[in-house]
Amino acid sequence: MTETSAVSAGRCVLVTGATGGIGQRLVRALQQQGYQVRLAVRSLPKAAALFPEAELVRWEAGMPVPETMLQGVWGIVNLAGAPIARRWTAAYRQEIFRSRVETTRALAGALSSGGHEVQVFLSVSATGYYGDRGEELCTESTPAGRDFLAQVCAAWEAAAQEAASRVRVVIPRLGIVLDRRAGFLPRLMPAFRFFVGGTLGSGQQWVPWVHWSDVVGFVLWALRTPAVQGVYNVVAPQPVRFRELCQLLGRLLRRPCWLSVPGWVLRLRYGALVQALLSSQRVIPHRAHAEGFRFQFPELEAALRAELSGETKA
Ligand SMILES: NC(=O)c1ccc[n+]([C@@H]2O[C@H](COP(=O)([O-])OP(=O)(O)OC[C@H]3O[C@@H](n4cnc5c(N)ncnc54)[C@H](OP(=O)(O)O)[C@@H]3O)[C@@H](O)[C@H]2O)c1
């Protein structure tokens, strides 16, 4: 389904985290669909260089939400969050938490106090919500895990839900986003290109992946569909094991997939992040499927081929 500019024309969407991997793809798609876009950013020059035509507001967690930031806004897409794929020191764990939960709480607080025209608040979360689940099949009703990322996601979602009495709240739990330009793929591919590609840990862990165009597609669908509300797993319907993903990547890049990096080596390099890298999450998009969202890339091979050939554009 595609959004039509007739539906979106004149509607203003405020985006946080717009300069990130997902944000850049999404802002362009919103503009193409005829939405007016306002970006709440930490660095005006960085955002202006990326989006010369967008309206920019300097804002981040810890600052009060300026009244003008929400003026005329119809929808909010909240993507802000410090990157996960860094070494987790105690201070950085706090930054991971604060950058998500405080930002979301501040926005939800401003929405709860009224005096605005916002109809929909879409605030992302992650499949990290489920923690390490082994072979268990996770749907939206599976309870949260107990590890650090699961706690961050649970607090992040609870903060967004604080706005639910005033606006429609949508919480997409995103899987690992496949995008040749940002995130997981550009980190994994160099090892394969230099013939040292392989899995992390045993490779038996399930990976809840999703192609970036399905993330953008889901956000557009959720914005324009009034019945869409609450939590949705935004992951491809066919999760794979990490080993399968790496073997497929090796085949498509015509490189071997022969290494297996043990957990203790990962721990030396990434500290407590290793817990997230080795977690197994077999997640399915139960609600999105049931409510009619169609994935453009339900299968991994087609998604990877499209990214490696650069045929998907936004
Ligand atoms: N990519 C994935 O695989 C994936 C999977 C699951 C969930 N998610 C979630 O989806 C959101 C967007 O993901 P992404 O891959 O686009 O992330 P990203 O590329 O790391 O970008 C996140 C954006 O958040 C803002 N940000 C960064 N550090 C911040 C901090 N310390 N305090 C406040 N804001 C900060 C920045 O925007 P400005 O500079 O414009 O302020 C940045 O561009 C994140 O919250 C992420 O956790 C992503």
CATH number of domain containing 116 = 3.40.50.720
CB atoms within 10 A of CB 96: 19
Distance from residue 6's CA to the centre of ligand 1 (Å):
30
Q: Is residue 304 part of a domain?
A: no
Q: How many domains does the chain have?
A: 1
Q: Is the CB of 98 under 6 A from ligand 1?
A: no
Long-range contacts of 100-104 (CB under 8 A, 24+ apart): 100/152, 100/155, 100/156, 101/152, 101/155, 101/156, 101/159, 102/61, 102/62, 103/16, 103/60, 103/61, 103/78, 104/78, 104/156, 104/159, 104/160
Q: Is residue 247 part of a domain?
A: no
Whether the predicted pLDDT of 135 surpasses 80: yes
Residues near 112 by beta carbon (within 8 Å), at least 6 away in sequence: 162, 163, 165, 166
Whether the predicted pLDDT of 1 surpasses 50: no
Distance from residue 142's CA to the centre of ligand 1 (Å):
25
Ligand 1 atom nearest residue 103's Cα: 33
Distance from residue 157's CA to the centre of ligand 1 (Å):
15
CB atoms within 10 A of CB 123: 25
Residue 50 and residue 19: Cα distance in Å, rounded?
A: 7
pLDDT score recorded for residue 270: 66
Ligand 1 atom nearest residue 100's Cα: 45
Residue 246 and residue 228: Cα distance in Å, rounded?
A: 34
**303's tokens:** 């998604």
Residue 243 and residue 169: Cα distance in Å, rounded?
A: 36
Q: Are 231 and 173 in contact (CB under 8 A)?
A: yes
pLDDT score recorded for residue 310: 79
Q: Is the CB of 82 under 6 A from ligand 1?
A: yes
pLDDT score recorded for residue 96: 96
Residue 263 and residue 272: Cα distance in Å, rounded?
A: 11
pTM above 0.85, yes or no: yes
Q: Is residue 270 part of a domain?
A: no
**135's tokens:** 């072979």
3 state DSSP class of 229: coil
Q: Is the CB of 56 under 6 A from ligand 1?
A: no
Q: Is the CB of 62 under 6 A from ligand 1?
A: no
Distance from residue 23's CA to the centre of ligand 1 (Å):
8
Residue of 75, 72, 65, 68 lying closest to 30 (CA atoms): 75
Residue of 71, 15, 22, 72 lying closest to 38 (CA atoms): 15
Task: Name the more confident of 199 and 155.
Answer: 155
pLDDT tens track for 24-62: 999 999 999 999 999 999 999 999 999 998 999 999 988
Whether the predicted pLDDT of 4 surpasses 80: no
Q: Is residue 263 part of a domain?
A: no
Q: Are 76 and 120 in contact (CB under 8 A)?
A: yes
Q: Is residue 148 part of a domain?
A: yes
Ligand 1 atom nearest residue 22's Cα: 16
Residue 16 and residue 32: Cα distance in Å, rounded?
A: 18
Mean pLDDT of 283-301: 97
Q: Is residue 241 part of a domain?
A: no
Q: Is the CB of 186 under 6 A from ligand 1?
A: no
Task: Name the more confident of 18 and 257.
Answer: 18
Q: Is the CB of 18 under 6 A from ligand 1?
A: yes
Q: What is the CA radius of gyration of the chain?
A: 19
- Beta bridge partners of residue 16, listed in sequence order: 40, 78
pLDDT tens track for 239-291: 999 999 999 988 888 887 777 776 666 666 666 667 777 899 999 999 999 99
Q: Is residue 308 part of a domain?
A: no
pLDDT score recorded for residue 195: 66
Q: Is residue 80 part of a domain?
A: yes
Q: 139 is in which domain, residue-wise?
A: 5-177+209-235+284-290
Average per-residue pLDDT in the chain?
91
Q: Is the CB of 15 under 6 A from ligand 1?
A: no
Q: Whose CA is nearest to atom 11 of ligand 1?
A: 79
Q: Is the CB of 78 under 6 A from ligand 1?
A: no
DSSP annotation of 136 reads P
pLDDT score recorded for residue 313: 64
**223's tokens:** 């914005």
Residue of 170, 227, 171, 224 lying closest to 2 (CA atoms): 224
Q: Is the CB of 19 under 6 A from ligand 1?
A: yes
- Beta bridge partners of residue 55, listed in sequence order: 38
Q: Is the CB of 81 under 6 A from ligand 1?
A: yes
Residue 211 and residue 179: Cα distance in Å, rounded?
A: 7
Q: Is the CB of 106 under 6 A from ligand 1?
A: no
CB atoms within 10 A of CB 313: 7
136 pLDDT band, cuts 50/70/90, is: very high
- Beta bridge partners of residue 121, listed in sequence order: 76, 169
